[in-house]
Amino acid sequence: MRKPLGPREEALTGQQPFWEEKLSTIPEMFGEEPSEPAVKAEILALKPDTGEEVWSIPRDELTWASPVCVNTGSRMELILAGNSTASSYDPETGTRLWSVKCLDGEVAPSAAYANGMVFVANDTPALVSGIRIADVEGQSAPKPAWQKDDFRPDVASPLATEKCVLFATSGGTLACRDPRTGDVKWSQE
């Protein structure tokens, strides 16, 4: 268990962060070769007002992506795009709810969510995926509804609505995909 992070005195004036703590640095995370992690990956939940650890769970893969917390209509889920999977966790306990193998490489874009679908992507060699997580026609576990191999972002996270999922590539192209089918509605350089 880590020490409680606690509020900083300067936070009371509004001039500084309320609390802060060094969790790790890039040189500490990776050995001499970036493909060989020197530390284990984990997801860490902290109380926002004190920085006190609520839970911590180990992960098998590293990621640059930030988790997103979504209300699926039936429960809250913490969704994280990793180096090979998109996974969901219970934000209260850290229990893994589901995991879908659909990514590859060093993943930077965070997941997006809209209307019972999770959208994840990464540049080569991964695909852009739309994962149906809502209960539809007796589906018992989340699975990709579609996967595409064009307009893949390597850094920018997608933005999803009921009508469009936006993906921005590093080459400067913005593409709108149909959330149900993954088909490109339009693209603009």
How confident is the model over 3-61, as pLDDT tens digits?
555 555 555 555 666 556 555 555 545 555 555 555 578 888 988 888 888 999 988 88
Tell me how many degrees the CA angle 179-99-57 measures, rounded to the nearest 5: 130
Rounded Cα–Cα distance for residues 135 and 7 (Å): 42
pTM of the model: 0.80
Rounded Cα–Cα distance for residues 135 and 141 (Å): 8
Strand (E) or helix (H) holding 27: helix 26-29
